[in-house]
Amino acid sequence: MTILSAKLRQSTAAAVLALTATAVSGAALAKDLTITVWSGGTNETESYRIENIAIAADLLEREYALRGEELNIKVEGKYDFAGWAEFKQAVTLAAEAGTAPNIVVSSHLDLAPWSQAGLIVPIEDYVDLDAWPLNDIYENLIDITSYNGQVVGLPQDAESRPFFFWRETYKKIGYTDEQLDELPAKIQSGEYTLKNVFEDAKKAVDMEIVEKGYGFYPRPSNGPDYAQFYQSFGGTLMDKDSGKLVLDKKAMTEFYQFFVDCVNAGLTRKNHLGTDWNQWYNEVATGKAATWHGGTWHYARYTGKEGLSDFFGNIQFSLIPAGNAEGHANTITQPLAYMITKQNDEEAVEVAAQLVKIASEPRLNSYHAIKSSHLGISRQQSNVEFYANDRWAAEATERLLPFANAQPNHLKYGQFSELMYKGLETAWTGTKSAEDAVAEVEVEMKAALGDDLIVR
């Protein structure tokens, strides 16, 4: 009996040894890695957020092969989330459960809470910011993807959120083509303001050029776009010196009041918020609305799926006009960022970082920029013909980006923006007056944000 068990033990040990040896030698010969990428707010037009990682994987495999190492990377991408809320919920809960994807593409606003929670790791630990292609990325974009003085993520794209005018409607209310061409400059200088937008949109509705509720046709859901209007009326999002978020009651009230006035004058529908996005895209791309606001990436949708053949002949675009004397024309850029999540396998983290680095090369990023009508992230993209010859990319970059600011990377900005939108919704739908809505927002912000808030 003892002999038998001793033999058994020996043979088991031998088997284990043999298996380990095979595994170890196998690892030295070839390494298989599966890199998962989850991308938020992504549709088919933005597929290069994931495809570029796959292209990068191919390039990285070649680099490894040239060094005599075999690395097989399998990229698994996922972008069919119902919306931003569902995407962020999925990422957060997966990370808590220890099954986070390797690479996440999300708003730069998530850098603060996710890095505080340790869900993502600073990418600057794994890449050389002084080397190509990262040393060519615009510094202001790198600032936007930094938090606590560290470069946490890398900008995936740039965009901004312009105001749009349907040229034909404006011509019918008395504008000439020349005047329309000058409009963006007048908006930038503060000569044409939201007050003028209101008057012109009202004319269009009163003259029955557009239907009631289609004079001014805003974004139908929450988004950074609304912070632009707060800025138009003189609001500041964060106090730079103290790093605290700012509720400027006067600016907030006037911003809410503008939307309430639009509803009362029949320019905007009272139940506009929550309108189906597909319906919305179709309506603005077919001239059903006189004015609206959206994002630079809408160009791809208008000229693609919605079939608008002559964008520049039909639509004028500009910064969001100023609302009053304290505010200024502005636009917000909300770059998405590539982020690397914390994983037990350090090598997987490093490979993921390398893939993100390669995907940031000007040519690859231009594929994404052109297909999705986003703006480039690095200087050399203007030397990539494919990108430089695109009229939209060139004009939008020049007219909007120099004046674009980003929302602050602050742990509690998510709550701030939720409450700001909730207040807007309350005033917009007529549940409360603008003043009462702001009073409620103040109480809620004070409770939710505590010491991180300054009320002016």
Binding region for another protein (CB under 8 A): 83-86, 88-89, 92, 96, 106-107, 109-110, 112-114, 116-119, 122, 124-131, 148-150, 221-223, 242-243, 270-271, 273-274, 346, 350, 353, 411-415, 417-418, 421-422, 425-432, 440, 443-444, 446-448, 451
Q: How crowded is the C-beta side of 172, counted as CA atoms within 13 Å?
A: 18
Quote the least distance from Cβ 424 to another protein, whole Å.
9
Q: Smaller CB distance to another protein: residue 293 or 432?
A: 432
User: Are residues 120 and 340 in contact, defined by beta-carbon separation less than 8 angstroms?
Assistant: yes
Q: Smaller CB distance to another protein: residue 9 or 62?
A: 62
Quote the least distance from Cβ 23 to another protein, whole Å.
24
> How do beta strands 30-39 and 103-107 pair?
parallel
Q: Smaller CB distance to another protein: residue 182 or 239?
A: 239
Furthest-apart CA atoms within the chain: distance in Å: 105
Q: How far apart are CA 139 and CA 344, in angstroms?
A: 31
Closest CA to 104 of 179, 22, 49: 49
Closest CA to 106 of 50, 36, 53, 38: 38
Q: Is 136 exposed, middle or buried (0-12, 13-18, 19+ CB in 10 A)?
A: middle
Quote the least distance from Cβ 25 to another protein, whole Å.
23
Quote the least distance from Cβ 250 to another protein, whole Å.
21
Q: Smaller CB distance to another protein: residue 113 or 235?
A: 113
All residues at 6 or more sequence positions from 5 whose CB lies less than 8 Å from its CB, including other chains: none
Cα dihedral 232, 199, 402, 453 in deg (nearest 10): 10
Q: Smaller CB distance to another protein: residue 322 or 348?
A: 348
Q: Smaller CB distance to another protein: residue 68 or 274?
A: 274
DSSP string covering 196-212, please? HHHHHHHHHHHTTSS-T
Q: Smaller CB distance to another protein: residue 15 or 447?
A: 447
Quote the least distance from Cβ 340 to another protein, whole Å.
11
Closest CA to 400 of 294, 310, 307, 324: 294
All residues at 6 or more sequence positions from 88 whose CB lies less than 8 Å from its CB, including other chains: 40, 106, 110
Quote the least distance from Cβ 279 to another protein, whole Å.
10
Quote the least distance from Cβ 7 to another protein, whole Å.
43
Q: Smaller CB distance to another protein: residue 374 or 432?
A: 432
Quote the least distance from Cβ 216 to another protein, whole Å.
18
Could you give the strand order of the β-sheet that contains 216-217, starting from the edge strand earlier in sequence? Answer: 216-217, 291-293, 163-166, 315-318
